[in-house]
Amino acid sequence: MRQELANVAGICDGVRCDMAMLMLPEVYRRTWNIEIEPFWPEAIRRIRLDQPDFVFIAEVYWDLEWTLLQQDFDYTYDKRLYDRLRGQNALSVKEHLAADQDFQRKQVRFLENHDEPRAAAAFPPSVHEAAAVLTYLSPGLRFFHQGQMEGRKTHIPMHLCRAPAEAIDTAVRNFYQRLLRVLRLPIVRSGDWTLLTPAPTDQAPTDQAPTDQAPTDQDPTDQKDDDAESDREIIACVWSLEKRNRVLVIVNYTPEPVSSHLKLPFPDLRRQKVRLRDLMGTTKGEESGDALLKTGLAIDLPPWGYRVLELSVMAS
């Protein structure tokens, strides 16, 4: 097996190791009742003696991703994020993205591969776009499958080696073209990524004057509960390369519209004018840096809605 790895390393720049966790001593022991020495650390070391930049990717399950990263793999499959996106559970997606940054950067992010259903078939169109924004604008290795960007829906077994003709889904293709333009930006290739927490809307100021209107029967805590629920369901992060250049990613990964405010933890925005440009759309705008720091950026998103905003400080 080590010789096969050496043969592969002689003709390409990296390798994906299928079901790599099966060669872990503890897994081998449970499966075959046979004791073996650790395989991967020595096998990887030998390859890198001649090719130090050769990339090792592990297909791995059973919560053994970190174990294989400790055995010198460069990246491991992030099947857990994929499953949580398929489950359409915003809170579990957010919790997963809150993992350690070193771990996040070594994950292979994907929405489909040769084992899984086609993304265009597995996700309804609006969910597909929201899931793709979360997947590919998170840190890690971005993995696209043949036909994914054209909206192909027929899952092809690898041994078949052929596929039926399918019409290109222009909406899917146009979406991925916009997303790829964002992914080419240096800031989302080599910048720093941070998960953000929306502020409850009752922290935001209101310009509405008090009135003598009779109170309603609605419990005032109901609105607070609704706001808190929105805050849990909005997933927001920021890519930063320089203090004057940031990209905000805000996703409502739910079937309901949400409203909230996103406080921005960037002190350098104080007393600055900030330009906002939607990188996945056409809208532009300006905001006061003081307002973004104090009350936050207003967020109003439809079901499965998202915004990818370039945030830049305007020259004074």
DSSP string, 29-88: HHHHS------HHHHHHHHHHH-TT-EEEE---TT-HHHHHTTT-SEEE-HHHHHHHHTT
Select the CATH number that applies to the domain covering 2-190 from these four: 3.40.50.300, 3.20.20.80, 3.20.20.70, 3.90.1150.10. Answer: 3.20.20.80
* pLDDT of 167 strictly over 80: yes
* pLDDT of 141 strictly over 90: yes
pTM of the model: 0.85
Every domain range in the chain assigned CATH 3.20.20.80: 2-190
Task: Decide the pairing of beta strands 55-58 and 234-242.
Answer: unpaired
In sequence order, which residues have a C-beta less than 8 Å from that of residue 85 and are 6 or more positions away? 93, 111, 123, 131, 134, 135, 253
Determine the Cα–Cα distance for residues 234 and 196; give it in Å rounded to an integer: 10
* % helix, strand, coil for the chain, step of 5: 40, 20, 40
Q: Is 72 left (phi over 0), alpha (psi -120 to 50) or beta?
A: left
Determine the Cα–Cα distance for residues 209 and 211; give it in Å rounded to an integer: 6
The closest alpha carbon to 143, from 184, 92, 179, 108, belongs to 108
Which pLDDT does position 243 carry in this prediction? 67
Burial of 179 (0-12, 13-18, 19+ CB in 10 A): buried
Determine the Cα–Cα distance for residues 54 and 265; give it in Å rounded to an integer: 38
pLDDT digits (tens, 9 = 90+) for 228-274: 555 567 899 999 987 668 999 999 999 999 888 888 888 888 887 88
**215 Cα distance to chain centroid:** 44
pLDDT digits (tens, 9 = 90+) for 95-131: 999 988 889 999 999 999 888 889 999 999 999 999 9
pLDDT digits (tens, 9 = 90+) for 25-42: 899 999 999 999 999 999
The closest alpha carbon to 17, from 52, 50, 58, belongs to 58
Average pLDDT in the chain:
85
Inter-residue contact 196 to 155 (CB < 8 Å)? no
Which pLDDT does position 198 carry in this prediction? 64
Fold of 194-204+224-313: Immunoglobulin-like (2.60.40)
Name the one residue in this structure whose structure tokens are 């967020």: 299
pLDDT (mean) for 151-172: 86
Every domain range in the chain assigned CATH 2.60.40.1180: 194-204+224-313
